[in-house]
Amino acid sequence: MDKAGERCSTQLIDGDGAFNIAGLENFIKEVKLKECGLSYAVVSIMGPQSSGKSTLLNHLFGTNFREMDAYRGRSQTTKGIWLAKAAGIEPLTLVMDLEGTDGRERGEDDTAFEKQSALFALAVSDVMLINMWCHDIGREQAANKPLLKTVFQVMMRLFSPRKTTLMFVIRDKTRTPLDALEPVLREDIQKIWDNVPKPQAHQETPLSEFFNVEVVALSSYEEKEDQFKEQVAGLRARFFHSIAPGGLAGDRQGVVPASGFSFSAQQIWKVIKENKDLDLPAHKVMVATVRCEEIADEKLCNFTANEEWCQIEEATVSGLVPGFGRRLTAILDTCLKGYEFEAIYFDEKVRTTKGKQLQEKLLQLVLPAFQSVLGHLRSGTLEKFKAIFDKTLHGGEGFSSAARYCTKLCMFQFDEGCADVVIEQAKWDTSKVREKLKRDIDAHITDVREAKLSELTTAYESKLSEALSGTVEALLDEADSETWPAIRTQLQRETESAVSGFSSEVSSFELDEQTKEKMIVHLRDYAKGIVEAKVKQEAGKVLSRMKDRFESLFSRDADSMPRVWTGKEDIRAITKTARSASLKLLSTMAAIRLDDETDNIEKALSLALLELKSNSTVTDRSLTSPADPLASSTWKEVPPMKTVLTPVQCKNIWRQFKAETEYSVAQAMAAQEAARRSNNWLPPPWAMVAMVILGFNEFMTLLRNPLYLGVLFVGYLIFKAVWVQLDISGEFQHGALPGIISLSNKFFPTIMNLLKKLAEAGEVPQASRNPAVGLKTYASSAGTSSNVSSTGSSVVLSKDTAEYSSTPKEE
């Protein structure tokens, strides 16, 4: 409510002591108090009721406090405390009009409100006007004495001096000059001050420590209005720039900044009403705390609502934000400067503390975005490193130098990115993220190094495998005493070649000697492993190889021509040779001999299997007897690692080998026997002698008659033709019965064929003229036919012997 309907005044505290918060807030807004900082002054007036206080203020400050109507008699007009703005005075001056102190309206004993309002006015005012009648000066029962007593008493409850200016305004001054009145007044004031009970700390404190005392005298407004107005105008001039040094309120202390005035006034009144001690320094800190918090909260809200910040925060979710650090530094700076600007007049300690808290809260808000951007920067740099590193390696750069170059480049780019992300106010440490990036890069380099080395090793392993497998297999095919030396030579050559190539390629990795040596050893071992694996694999085929070797030696002669069992061959010797060659193969494959070691496996096998067997007195049972040197799972000089075939295995293989080659030998012997028989078709010599003696007469008859000879010759030719045509000797080669059966089938067709050819020959003149030529032709054609026939009708004994037995005989 406005006392005179003016906008710039309000009742601050009503007659019942209720604080008008809303009215004060409106008033502050109207007069724009909050923007004043410390540049404002508060003036209040105390004095007896109806002593012309409102009249004075209205004339002095151009306010519109309600004045008592002079024609209605002196009664209380002002209730509670009123507040107005002084018109036209710089700096902004707030004027408080207090309820009169006579207590006539409240009753003589009711001085509680009087004291409370006095204390409130003292706590908030820079200048306190004490209105008093001139005629009260020096009077023992003067109305102002209890008032002064009250002022001094409450002053003790403010804990610290504000150095308020107490301006005694003497109203209705008489002709007594002020110079004469002032000492009396000051004496009165001093007396009252001396008599006021003070706390121990202020027992000796002079009045001047708490107050600046000023005395002015004014003529009566009612009687000498013009003089009054003139004097008031002079007094008004003193309120201009009152807070400047030397001004009316130049010494004031503990001023509450304008933005805290409302809250401060409320709190002071609250404390006073609760009759508690009003600790002004503590109050000041409290006001500063509350106000600084309010300002900080407001700034925090402004920040969270800041559009640019919201955009940045959203963008950080998906990736890097260009100029992140710079932009956020600027937004935070604006926010913090805003706080500083508004809180600057509050207690420095509180302001700084709250400012730090605000900064802390702001940075906490920003931290996730910062971490997110830093995370994007780290992961982005790592990805970039991977790409550049890969490209550099593909460009042919050495591994270690590429790693160094790419790491340096990417770390530099990360540092540059960090500089763009860093928020000045935060000074957050990015070294941990940098370290993590470095660790990730190193881990990637290690992974790639391992992959590349593994690739390289695998490539050289494949090369070795390719180079050794086939060669070793081929060498083992020809297993003999030169096999292992040849394998060793081959192994060494290939290994050295691989090691040399590998060493040169691996040099770009700048490995330490130990690692490099380890890898080379692995490569060497791998090469050995290939040979060993190959030998073990080939050992699985040893039986078949032994049989092949046996067959090739047994069934073929020295020129590798198929052997024909004519009966003259020494099958036993051939068998022994073939077997010992097979045994040699077995002994070659029984152990791995990569280290040029010697062993007597061959000797042991030969002794146990060949020589004993050749005696043919040892049975299979004797092989398994305890005395059997092969009844063991290890060779004497060969470690188990190098053993491919154990003695027992060798023995079993040999047994199987023998069983499977036995048949070939038996077939060969049968074929030899058959050949022998077929070669013995002439009658025995005694029969031939008997035939000569008994056939002597017939022989002589033939000699005596040449015609018989001619008939015999023709008969012979016919017989020979039939013999050749039917291949009688060939047919009977395999026995009499098959020969007879075969001949019986072929006889008539052959005779018919002969007759047909004779008939055809008879038609040829040359043939008729020269029968001998014709017969020769038959014989020749019959021979050809016989060849075909004999080939077609040969009997196959077995797969192995077939090629020997079916070989065409020489005509």
Ligand X SMILES: Nc1nc2c(ncn2[C@@H]2O[C@H](COP(=O)(O)OP(=O)(O)OP(=O)(O)O)[C@@H](O)[C@H]2O)c(=O)[nH]1
Residues of the binding site for GTP: 47-54
> Could you tell me which of 29, 508, 552, 492 has the C-alpha nearest to residue 258?
29
Nearby residues of 577 by Cβ (< 8 Å), 6 or more positions away: 553
* Least separation in angstroms between CB 185 and ligand X: 17
CB-nearer residue toward ligand X: 84 or 158: 84
CB-nearer residue toward ligand X: 115 or 326: 115
Could you tell me the strand order of the sheet in which 92-98 lies? 9-13, 81-85, 92-98, 40-46, 127-133, 164-171, 211-217
Tabulate helix, strand, coil % of the chain (nearest 5): 65, 5, 25
CB-nearer residue toward ligand X: 45 or 256: 45
DSSP 4: T
CB-nearer residue toward ligand X: 185 or 350: 185
* Least separation in angstroms between CB 207 and ligand X: 26
Copy the structure tokens of residue 803. 């090629």
Encode burial over 685-697: b for 16+ CB neighbours within 10 A, e otherwise: eeeeeeeeeeeee
CB-nearer residue toward ligand X: 49 or 164: 49
Copy the structure tokens of residue 543. 């039986």
> Could you tell me which of 759, 757, 763, 691 has the C-alpha nearest to residue 722?
757
CB-nearer residue toward ligand X: 104 or 449: 104
* Least separation in angstroms between CB 129 and ligand X: 11
* Least separation in angstroms between CB 224 and ligand X: 9
Give the number of C-alpha atoms closer than 13 A to the C-alpha of residue 623, restricted to the C-beta side.
22
> Could you tell me which of 221, 242, 168, 216 has the C-alpha nearest to residue 59?
221
CB-nearer residue toward ligand X: 169 or 539: 169
Q: Are 464 and 498 in contact (CB under 8 A)?
A: yes
**CA distances, 250 to each of 157, 382, 684 (Å):** 23, 66, 171
Q: Are 370 and 421 in contact (CB under 8 A)?
A: yes
* Least separation in angstroms between CB 355 and ligand X: 45
Nearby residues of 37 by Cβ (< 8 Å), 6 or more positions away: 257, 258, 259, 344, 345
CB-nearer residue toward ligand X: 227 or 793: 227
* Least separation in angstroms between CB 352 and ligand X: 45
* Least separation in angstroms between CB 6 and ligand X: 16
* Least separation in angstroms between CB 74 and ligand X: 6
* Least separation in angstroms between CB 42 and ligand X: 18
Name the site residues for ligand X (rule: CB under 6 A). 49-55, 67-68, 70, 74, 76-78, 100, 171-172, 220-222
* Least separation in angstroms between CB 100 and ligand X: 3
Copy the structure tokens of residue 312. 């940045």
Q: Are 20 and 12 in contact (CB under 8 A)?
A: yes
DSSP per position, 382-431:
HHHHHHHHHHHHHTT--HHHHHHHHHHHHHHHHHHHHHHH--TTT----H
Burial class (CB in 10 A: 0-12, 13-18, 19+), 194: exposed
Compute the C-alpha angle 485/592/463, nearest 5°. 75
Copy the structure tokens of residue 605. 């096998």
Could you give the 3-state DSSP secondary structure of residue 212?
strand
Q: Are 554 and 664 in contact (CB under 8 A)?
A: yes
Nearby residues of 24 by Cβ (< 8 Å), 6 or more positions away: 10, 12, 83, 262, 265, 266
CB-nearer residue toward ligand X: 131 or 392: 131
CB-nearer residue toward ligand X: 50 or 646: 50
Gap between the Cα atoms of 539 and 534, Å rounded:
8
CB-nearer residue toward ligand X: 49 or 588: 49
> Could you tell me which of 791, 798, 783 has the C-alpha nearest to residue 731?
791
Give the number of C-alpha atoms closer than 13 A to the C-alpha of residue 558, restricted to the C-beta side.
1
Beta bridge pairs of residue 71: none
CB-nearer residue toward ligand X: 50 or 805: 50
Q: Which residue is nearest to ligand X, using beta carbons?
A: 52
Gap between the Cα atoms of 134 and 201, Å rounded:
35
Copy the structure tokens of residue 617. 């007195």
CB-nearer residue toward ligand X: 189 or 232: 232
* Least separation in angstroms between CB 116 and ligand X: 16
* Least separation in angstroms between CB 290 and ligand X: 33
* Least separation in angstroms between CB 98 and ligand X: 8
* Least separation in angstroms between CB 365 and ligand X: 54
DSSP per position, 682-728:
SPPHHHHHHHHHHTHHHHHHHHH-HHHHHHHHHHHHHHHHHHHHHTH
CB-nearer residue toward ligand X: 74 or 449: 74
Nearby residues of 643 by Cβ (< 8 Å), 6 or more positions away: 590, 591, 592, 634, 635
Burial class (CB in 10 A: 0-12, 13-18, 19+), 42: buried
Binding site, annotated residues: 47-54
